[in-house]
């Protein structure tokens, strides 16, 4: 149904046949030049602005500020540059092309900032064990705002691991104890197994985007560059087979979403973005920033305390 909000933009180019084939064969592909210079510039400014205000999740679970590592999630709820990229940029059309589903919903976005010389690596992992959802129609777009090489913490993948049955523990760069509280094994560091596994990664320029699925195993080294920051964002989209499925030791949702277990993702936290947004889902956010629900934040802090996880996420 038509509404008064913008339609998603069309990309300056769609994925090529070869890129789509690589994505389905390897679980990942690097698509060059998907975002223009102006978009990258706005994202840099927005990210630096966001970093001045540490969120409750950053403070309690994600950041290792003393080491130059900053992370956060659902920043689109607070910052309009992230909101507009999530809802109205060319990413929804690209997600539609890769997922081949009639509708696409925005799942969430996340940033990973490793300042020059940051010694924090991103342990090898799959994304799906982190998430309170089940389903397969999920795609992530990893966007770098700085030139990046393996040495400056370029993301690397085990090509083909999207077909593995094995699942690994959700290990964050800060080794958050709550997310690791499962029976799953810790992933090997595949950077040390290049002789036996097809480990792939790319030197990238701002505007290049890595496209990958929810199961492919990936990780990145510390930022060994003493000059370049490594600022990356991941925007994630999903199709209709993805359902809300909350479990212990999965990513907390600090915004009210109105979903029951088994519901397909939708509503104000996971709005439809393709073929267009739905007024009831986004109207509140279009009116202004939406801070997390005080009730959900309180429940999250209490849950960490009750289960023996302290305010830093460490037991």
Ligand X SMILES: O=C(O)CCC(=O)C(=O)O
Q: Which residues bind ligand X (CB under 6 A)?
A: 112, 122, 127, 140, 142, 155, 218, 220, 232, 234
Least spacing, CB of residue 232 vs ligand X, in Å = 4
Nearest to 253 by CA among 287, 289, 299, 290: 299
Write b or e for each residue in 174-209: b if 16 or more Cβ atoms lie within 10 A of its Cβ, otherwise e. Answer: bebbbbbeeeeeebeebbeeeeebebbbbebebbbb
Q: Toward ligand X, which CB reaches closer, 122 or 152?
A: 122
Q: Toward ligand X, which CB reaches closer, 168 or 267?
A: 168
CB 144 within 8 A of CB 112: no
Least spacing, CB of residue 97 vs ligand X, in Å = 20
Tokens of residue 105, six digits? 């919903």
Least spacing, CB of residue 289 vs ligand X, in Å = 24
Least spacing, CB of residue 258 vs ligand X, in Å = 26
Nearest to 8 by CA among 86, 111, 108: 86
Least spacing, CB of residue 71 vs ligand X, in Å = 9
Tokens of residue 223, six digits? 């930022």
Q: Toward ligand X, which CB reaches closer, 182 or 293?
A: 182
CA distance 92 to 98: 10
Q: Toward ligand X, which CB reaches closer, 252 or 267?
A: 252
Q: Toward ligand X, which CB reaches closer, 62 or 282?
A: 62
Least spacing, CB of residue 298 vs ligand X, in Å = 28
Tokens of residue 12, six digits? 């300056």
Q: Toward ligand X, which CB reaches closer, 89 or 267?
A: 89
Q: Nearest-5° angle of CA 153, CA 159, CA 162?
A: 110
């Amino acid at each position: 149904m038509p509404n008064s909000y913008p339609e998603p933009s069309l990309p300056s180019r769609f994925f090529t046949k070869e890129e789509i084939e690589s994505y389905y064969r390897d679980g990942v592909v690097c698509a060059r030049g998907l975002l223009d210079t102006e978009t990258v510039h706005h994202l840099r400014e927005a990210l630096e602005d966001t970093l001045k205000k540490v969120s409750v999740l950053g403070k309690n679970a994600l950041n290792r500020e003393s080491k130059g590592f900053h992370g956060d999630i659902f920043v689109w709820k607070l910052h309009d540059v992230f909101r507009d990229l999530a809802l109205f940029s060319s990413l929804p059309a690209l997600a539609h092309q890769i997922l081949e589903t009639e509708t696409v919903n925005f799942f969430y976005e996340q940033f990973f900032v490793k300042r020059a010389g940051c010694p924090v690596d991103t342990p090898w992992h799959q994304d799906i064990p982190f998430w309170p959802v089940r389903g397969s129609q999920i795609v992530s777009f990893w966007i770098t705002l700085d030139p990046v090489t393996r040495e400056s913490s370029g993301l690397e993948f085990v090509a083909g691991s999207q077909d593995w049955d094995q699942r690994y523990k959700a290990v964050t760069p800060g080794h958050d104890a709550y997310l690791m509280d499962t029976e799953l094994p810790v992933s090997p560091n595949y950077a040390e197994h290049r002789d036996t596994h097809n480990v792939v990664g790319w030197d990238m320029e701002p505007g290049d985007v890595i496209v990958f699925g929810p199961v492919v195993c990936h990780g990145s080294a510390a930022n060994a560059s003493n000059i370049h920051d490594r600022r990356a964002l991941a925007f994630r989209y999903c199709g209709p087979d993805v359902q809300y499925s909350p479990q212990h030791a999965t990513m907390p949702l600090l915004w009210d979403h109105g979903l029951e277990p088994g519901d397909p993702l939708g509503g104000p936290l996971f709005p439809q973005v393709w073929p267009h947004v739905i007024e009831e889902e986004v109207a509140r956010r279009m009116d202004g920033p939406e801070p997390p629900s005080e009730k959900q934040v309180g429940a999250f802090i209490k849950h960490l305390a009750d289960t023996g996880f302290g305010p830093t996420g460490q037991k």
